[in-house]
Amino acid sequence: MRVFAGLRAARGRVFRSLSERNYRRFFAGHSCSVVGTWMQRIGQDWLVLELTGSAFALGVSMVCQFLPVLVGGVWGGVVVDRVDTRRLLMVTQAAQAVLAAALAAFSLTGTATLPIVYGLAAGLGIVTVFDNPARHTFVAELVGEADIVNAQALNSLVNNAGRLAGPALAGALIVLVGVGVTFVINAVSFLAVLVALWLMDVGTLRRRPPVPRAPGQARAGLRYVWRHPELRLAIVLVAVVSVFGQNFRVVFPILASEVFHGDARVYGWLTAALGLGAVAGGMAAAAATTATPRRLLLACAAFGAVNLAVAGAPALGVALAAVVLLGVTNMVVNTLARALMQLRTAPELRGRVMAINGLVFLGGTPVGGPLMGLLCEWWGARAGLLVSGAACLAGAVAVVPVQRLARSGPAL
């Protein structure tokens, strides 16, 4: 009986944010949309490979999508702090639906070219500048501060459940009917989020007072992050993981096709294994009640070690098992970093701080994507994974002094 009582208590901790009606609606809408999002990611990657056969071109497509975040990410956070977050999200979600529909039309009519794919990827990147900090900041409006860690973990859990289902479904559909259908499904899936946002009980949202327009607000956000040791530690580790460790969309297609001699289905299996691990990691993160620098540092070190294990996998089955662990550790790193930055940030700065997190998290890809693509072309996917693992381990070691400073310094 004690075992069952403990399991019920653990389940209550994991899903406690769902007691909030508005969060339940957002959770349901996001759950539908994220499957389509991951289907499009697989479809876009495979479309670029079909058009070019080049890992470098695949890296450039990622640059087009994530470079806008690197260039304008902080200013996206300034906008989030100034406006109604819910209304902003309705605009960004609708824009993403339009871009997915356009890519579907070009693909299904056989008129898709590399410049068109690059252009639509850049358009998606511009929308992401505003959508990413708005989504993460909106969490604090949906739930109380005590449940921010849980809600962030559940959001990441949904995203990675989509990573589990979406790629596997996309891989099968690409083989059976072609890549265009993945973009159609994604375009339709955004309707679920738009309906959820429309049905929100606006009166119960924990809205932040809008920040008046003033000069230097972007710089103020950057200074705020750098002057607080815990925030600085989190952003440095996110940068290392983003640039060196999260280039799965570059490495996995090469791992699937050249190392294990597979097709789109094998790529889908690898990405689905990553999602399966992330779901398991999300369940563990959702049960936590707080986030600390020490936990984040250990998670980053574990992520680096698992990258090395994937690099040395002798067979596909072993690689899939190691990729599951890669998903677990990657999920924990990202969830702890976002939660730590939300909890240690004043409400009026959350938009900018989460934009900085998103800038580093997504904006590191334009740097790491092409480099990893070239590395994989020259020496293979295993070499790319070795570099990823070594860099993340080195990053974890390098921030140990900052972690000690954060632990001994005053509470934020």
Letter string b/e over residues 134-173, b meaning 16 or more CB atoms within 10 A of that residue's CB: bbbbbbbbbbeeebbbbbbbbbbbbbbbbbbbbbbbbbeb
- Determine the average pLDDT of the residues in 29-35: 88
pLDDT tens digits for 129-144?
899 888 888 888 888 7
Letter string b/e over residues 336-364, b meaning 16 or more CB atoms within 10 A of that residue's CB: bbbbbbbbbbebebbbbbbbbbbbbbbbb
CA distance 402 to 395: 11
Structure tokens of 395?
């990053």
pLDDT tens digits for 309-359?
888 878 888 888 888 899 889 888 888 888 888 878 877 788 888 888 877
Share of the chain above pLDDT 90, in %: 16
User: Residue 370: what pLDDT?
Assistant: 75
Considering Cα of 11, then 14, then 20, then 26, what sign does the dihedral take?
Answer: negative
User: Residue 4: what pLDDT?
Assistant: 39
pLDDT, mean over the chain: 82
pLDDT band at residue 92 using 50, 70 and 90 as cut-offs: very high
Residues 6+ positions from 37 with CB-CB distance below 8 Å: 162, 166, 186, 189
CA distance 101 to 89: 18
Specify the pTM. Answer: 0.72
User: Residue 106: what pLDDT?
Assistant: 94
CA distance 390 to 372: 14
Closest to 346 measured CA to CA, from 412, 289, 406: 412
Structure tokens of 359?
């800038």
